Amino acid sequence: MKQTATVNYHVHKPQRQAFELDAGGIVGNLIAPELAPTQVVVTDVRNTDALVRFEGASVGFATSPTTVRAFDAKGGWQPTYDAELTKLLAEQVGAQDVIVFDHTVRVDDPEAVRKPARNVHSDYSGQGAKQRLIDILGEEKAAEWSQRHYAFINVWRPVDAAINSAPLGFIEPGSVAAKDWILLDLIYPDRVGQIMGLAANPDHEWVYMSKMSPDEVAYFNIYDNRGRPSVAHSALDMVEDPTLKTIRKSIESRTLVRY
User: Where residue 25 falls among pLDDT bands split at 50, 70, 90?
Assistant: confident
For residue 49, pLDDT beyond 70: no
Closest-CA residue to 106 (of 149, 184, 151, 167): 167
CA 7, CA 145: separation in Å to the nearest integer?
Answer: 36
Model confidence over 216-230: pLDDT tens digits?
Answer: 999 999 999 999 999
| Ramachandran quadrant class, 146 (left: phi over 0; alpha: psi -120 to 50; beta: rest) | alpha
pLDDT at position 178, please?
Answer: 97
* Cα 66 to Cα 104: distance, rounded to the nearest angstrom: 16
Q: What pLDDT is recorded for position 52?
A: 87
**Is 90 exceeded by the pLDDT of residue 22?**
no
> Global pTM?
0.93
pLDDT score at 191:
81
Predicted confidence (pLDDT) at residue 23 exceeds the cutoff of 90:
no
Helix (H, G, I), strand (E, B) or coil at 108: coil
CB of 22 closer than 8 Å to CB of 28: yes
Asked whether the beta carbons of 152 and 222 are under 8 A apart, the reply is yes
Spatial distance between the Cα atoms of 217 and 78, rounded to a whole number of angstroms: 17
51 φ/ψ angles, rounded to the nearest 5 degrees: -65, 135
pLDDT value, residue 29: 83
Integer Cα distance of 184 and 45 in angstroms: 30
Stretch 11-27: mean pLDDT, rounded? 88
The HSE-up count of residue 160 (CA atoms within 13 Å, CB side) is: 14
pLDDT tens digits, one per residue of 163-174: 999 999 999 999
Q: How confident is the model at residue 50 (pLDDT cuts 50, 70, 90)?
A: low
Q: Show me where the domains of the chain are located.
A: 2-258
Least confident of 4-13, 47-56, 74-83, 202-211: 47-56
Q: What is the pLDDT of residues 101-138, one digit of tens each?
A: 999 999 999 989 899 999 999 999 999 999 999 999 99
**Residue 240 binned pLDDT confidence (cut-offs 50, 70, 90):** very high
- Give me the sign of the Cα torsion angle 177, 128, 117, 254: positive
| pLDDT 10s digits, 197-215 | 999 999 999 999 999 999 9
